[in-house]
């Protein structure tokens, strides 16, 4: 039994399909891969720039307040208490970001303060005072303690961050100046740094979320980006968060500017991976859809072309086979579709004529 061979039509169609589709698939794969990598690089660049800028803006605004506190520390003379009270009242009325501003002596007794709150009382056990005796200090956000009973009632407890600095007369420390900054001001600043689809998270030294999405607020964060916080350089991570979504996260390890005392804060900027790369992925899907549709049309045209090329060959092959059994058959179809089949058709006609001639029959 003769071995069945591939037809010319199959070889033309298969060969054409391979020569057409393989380069297209390879080029498309490289193109879409490069497109996605570029989109990811632009996303990281955008989030990194936003994170570093956000941290710098917050730090500069805090540094401005710190300069005011430090400036007051260099001008306050506890020997001139009327002027001290006047300066504190002026700054407190001028800048509502201070919930409380006051000065103490070296044993922690409040000598002058905003609206006289806590005057005459001891703050010796408060961290800002103890650390302020030894040098400029910053205390992370905390709920109001001694001031809670003196402030107007609100639905939520008052929260402050503290700045403190020693008061000196010559080489001698004479007291401490302390400032309680309203945490709501920090929250408003952080909200202004957010953008649609981009979350800003502020982490404490202990990896607790001080500002961020409601489901994470005031909770410790244990994912990789939190562990990367407080390192020397910025870090970019792709990771799954507790809500089950994948995010691109940029970690800005410190929030500081010049001589601002450190709160131990870190800033995280994150964006949902699906949302961030959705347009690019949709573009890639559209590309492959269009390429697939184009390939289907091309295959149909290729099949029609293969049929057009091989049909004359099939007819001539059938005519040649018939000559072996019937020399008197009608002349082969006069193929004129292209040069090669036209020549072969003419040769078969001549061959049939010779086989049918009387001399050849004899």
What average pLDDT does the segment 265-284 reach?
Answer: 89
Residue 1 domain flag: no
Residue 323 domain flag: yes
Residue 161 domain flag: yes
Q: How confident is the model at residue 237 (pLDDT cuts 50, 70, 90)?
A: confident
Residue 230: is its pLDDT beyond 70?
Answer: no
Q: How confident is the model at residue 357 (pLDDT cuts 50, 70, 90)?
A: low
pLDDT digits (tens, 9 = 90+) for 60-95: 999 999 998 988 898 888 888 999 999 898 888 888
Residue 120: is its pLDDT beyond 50?
Answer: yes
Task: Report pLDDT for 173.
Answer: 93
Residue 359: is its pLDDT beyond 70?
Answer: no
255 with 294, same domain: the answer is no
Residue 90 domain flag: yes
240 with 329, same domain: the answer is no
Q: Which residues are CB-neighbours of 122 under 8 A, at least 6 positions away?
A: 107, 108, 109, 110
pLDDT digits (tens, 9 = 90+) for 12-56: 888 888 988 899 899 999 999 999 989 888 988 999 899 999 999
70 with 99, same domain: the answer is yes
66 with 177, same domain: the answer is yes
48 with 69, same domain: the answer is no
What average pLDDT does the segment 354-358 reach?
Answer: 66
Final residue of a structural domain among 247, 277, 307: 277
Task: Report pLDDT for 256.
Answer: 87
Q: Which domain holds residue 211?
A: 34-60+190-277
Q: How confident is the model at residue 334 (pLDDT cuts 50, 70, 90)?
A: confident
67 with 147, same domain: the answer is yes
Lowest mean pLDDT among 188-202, 270-284, 340-354: 340-354
First to last CA, the chain: 35
Task: Report pLDDT for 183.
Answer: 93
Task: Report pLDDT for 327.
Answer: 58
Residue 335 domain flag: yes
| 196 against 326, higher pLDDT | 196
Q: Tell me the pLDDT of the chain averaged across its residues.
A: 86
Report the distance separating Cα 9 and Cα 139, nearest Å: 82
Helices (H), 133-235: 183-192, 224-228
194 with 50, same domain: the answer is yes
206 with 355, same domain: the answer is no
Strands, DSSP E only, in 243-338? 246-252, 266-272
Report the distance separating Cα 362 and Cα 360, nearest Å: 5
Reported as type and span, the H/E element at residue 153 is none
**What predicted TM-score, i.e. pTM, was given to this entire model?**
0.75
Task: Report pLDDT for 118.
Answer: 93
40 with 128, same domain: the answer is no
Lowest mean pLDDT among 8-17, 81-90, 154-163, 166-175: 8-17
What average pLDDT does the segment 154-181 reach?
Answer: 91
Report the distance separating Cα 295 and Cα 283, nearest Å: 18
Q: How confident is the model at residue 181 (pLDDT cuts 50, 70, 90)?
A: very high
Final residue of a structural domain among 260, 277, 294: 277
Residue 138 domain flag: yes
Task: Report pLDDT for 1.
Answer: 45
The total number of structural domains that make up the chain: 3
What average pLDDT does the segment 203-231 reach?
Answer: 87
Residue 45 domain flag: yes
Angle at CA of residue 275, ends 274 and 279, nearest 5°: 95
| 181 against 312, higher pLDDT | 181
271 with 239, same domain: the answer is yes
Task: Report pLDDT for 331.
Answer: 64
> Structure tokens of 252?
């800005």
Residue 2 domain flag: no
- Of 92, 90, 111, nearest in space to 101 by CA: 92
Residue 216: is its pLDDT beyond 70?
Answer: yes
Helix axes 8-75, 81-94, angle to 10 degrees: 150
CATH, residue 213: 3.30.450.20
Counting residues of the chain whose pLDDT is more than 70, the rounded percentage is 93
154 with 169, same domain: the answer is yes
Residue 228: is its pLDDT beyond 60?
Answer: yes
262 with 308, same domain: the answer is no
Final residue of a structural domain among 277, 299, 329: 277
Q: How confident is the model at residue 328 (pLDDT cuts 50, 70, 90)?
A: low
> Structure tokens of 219?
């909770």
């Amino acid at each position: 039994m003769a071995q069945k061979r591939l037809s010319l039509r199959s070889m033309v169609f298969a060969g054409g399909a391979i020569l057409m589709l393989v380069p297209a698939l390879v080029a498309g794969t490289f193109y879409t891969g490069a497109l996605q990598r570029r989109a990811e690089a632009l996303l990281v660049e955008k989030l990194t720039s936003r994170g570093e800028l956000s941290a710098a803006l917050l730090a500069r605004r805090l540094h401005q307040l710190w300069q005011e506190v430090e400036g007051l520390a260099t001008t306050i003379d506890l020997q001139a208490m009327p002027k001290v009270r006047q300066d504190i009242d002026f700054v407190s009325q001028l800048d509502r970001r201070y919930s409380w501003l006051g000065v103490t002596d070296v044993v922690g007794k409040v000598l002058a303060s905003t609206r006289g709150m806590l005057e005459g009382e001891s703050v010796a056990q408060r961290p800002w005072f103890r650390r302020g005796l030894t040098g400029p200090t910053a205390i992370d956000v905390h709920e109001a303690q001694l001031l809670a009973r003196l402030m107007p009632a609100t639905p939520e407890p008052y929260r402050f961050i503290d700045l403190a600095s020693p008061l000196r007369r010559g080489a001698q420390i004479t007291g401490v100046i302390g400032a309680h900054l309203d945490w709501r001001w920090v929250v408003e600043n952080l909200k202004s740094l957010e953008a649609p689809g981009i979350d800003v998270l502020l982490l404490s030294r202990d990896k607790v979320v001080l500002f961020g999405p409601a489901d994470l607020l005031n909770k410790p964060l244990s994912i990789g980006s939190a562990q990367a916080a407080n390192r020397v350089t910025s870090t970019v991570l792709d990771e799954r968060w507790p809500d089950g979504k994948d995010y691109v996260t940029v970690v800005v390890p410190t929030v500081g500017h010049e001589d601002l005392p450190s709160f131990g804060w870190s800033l995280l900027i994150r964006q949902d991976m699906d949302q961030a790369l959705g347009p690019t992925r949709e573009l890639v899907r559209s590309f492959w859809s269009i390429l697939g549709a184009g390939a289907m049309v091309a295959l149909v045209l290729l099949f029609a072309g293969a049929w057009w090329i091989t049909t004359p060959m099939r007819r001539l092959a059938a005519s040649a086979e018939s000559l072996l059994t019937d020399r008197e058959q009608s002349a082969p179809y006069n193929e004129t579709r292209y040069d090669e089949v036209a020549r072969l058709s003419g040769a078969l006609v001549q061959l049939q004529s010779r086989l049918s001639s009387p001399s050849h029959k004899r």
